[in-house]
A = this chain, B = another copy of it.
Amino acid sequence: MRLGIDIGGTTIKYGIVSNEGKIIESFSFDTKVNDGYLLIVNNIISQVLIIKEKYKIDSIGIGVPGIVDKNGEIVKNCPNLFWKNVTLGKDIEFKTGIKTYVENDANIALLAEHAFGNAKGYSDVIMLTLGTGVGGAAIVDGKLLKGSRGYGTEFGHIYVGENKNRCNCGKYGCLESFVSATGIIRYAQNLYDKNQISTRVKSAKQIFESEDTISKKAIERVGYYLAVGIGNLIQCFNPECVIIGGGLSGAKDKLLNSIERNISSQLGFFNKNDVEIAIAKWGNRAGIIGASILSEYRN
């Protein structure tokens, strides 16, 4: 039995997961960001000690919304939690006596797909998580790609076309500026305003659920730029499978079809059958499930 912990900016979810990826029992509590690192970690430790009474836990895995160094020892930066250079794994291991592994949450989501989801059985997989921002993760030859300092797979910031709206990273033309919820809302709202249609776009979901001309145009644009980005990633990694996760992946076929319509012209020497494009299997549960199997990808 393993313990998977998913630390988010608003909630900390955790669950006991069987070696086959089944969640046996799960819990959650609010992330009181203002409590600071030590109080939050102590809270987690208390929960682990309670669980330890009831279950035999072989290892703990934790996903965090930020950058983790190459060895998983130092959480370098979690902007939403105000954590910088904390030794989360060691701190929990020291008090609980259970081997603890830490990783970035996009990587964790990919592990869940690779071990028990839609990327199962593949050695080379790419993941894009589409939400407020765009995250990325890659498994290369069965192992997580970390990059020299743990900053790899920033797929939201590859160039996919001209865009006057500067990305948060400082660049122009990043994938994120086109296909993040923020980018989609901005684009659609602009079109409504231009056409003097008094619609207030509140979410990307609203666009994907609407059937008007502007929404259709916005969805097609998302498909096109995702295809350019995925095309680039295929050239780089020659993956067997590309997984689309994050909040926007809730649009399922509407999103997938839009990518499919645009991908052919972005493949170069590859062809469509070389790579499968799929929506992530585990939505909300990816964090707990992926974290629980981290130990297997660390050895």
Contact = CB atoms under 8 A, between A and B. Distances in A.
A29 interface: no
Interface string A132-176: 000000101101011111111111011111100001011100100
Q: State how many copies of this chain the complex holds.
A: 2
A158 B124 CA distance: 18
Interface residues of A, number: 46
Nearest to A156: B235
Contacts of A170: 265, 267-269
Q: Is the interface of A mostly helix, strand, loop or mixed?
A: loop
A73 interface: no
A31 interface: no
A146 B138 CA distance: 14
B240 A148 contact: yes
Interface stretch (A39-47, A226-234, A252-260): A226-234
Given A141-B143, A143-B141, A268-B174, A228 B148 contact: no
A155 B268 CA distance: 11
A157 B154 CA distance: 19
Interface of A: 122-124, 138, 140-141, 143, 145-155, 157-162, 167, 169-171, 174, 228, 231-233, 235-240, 265-270, 274
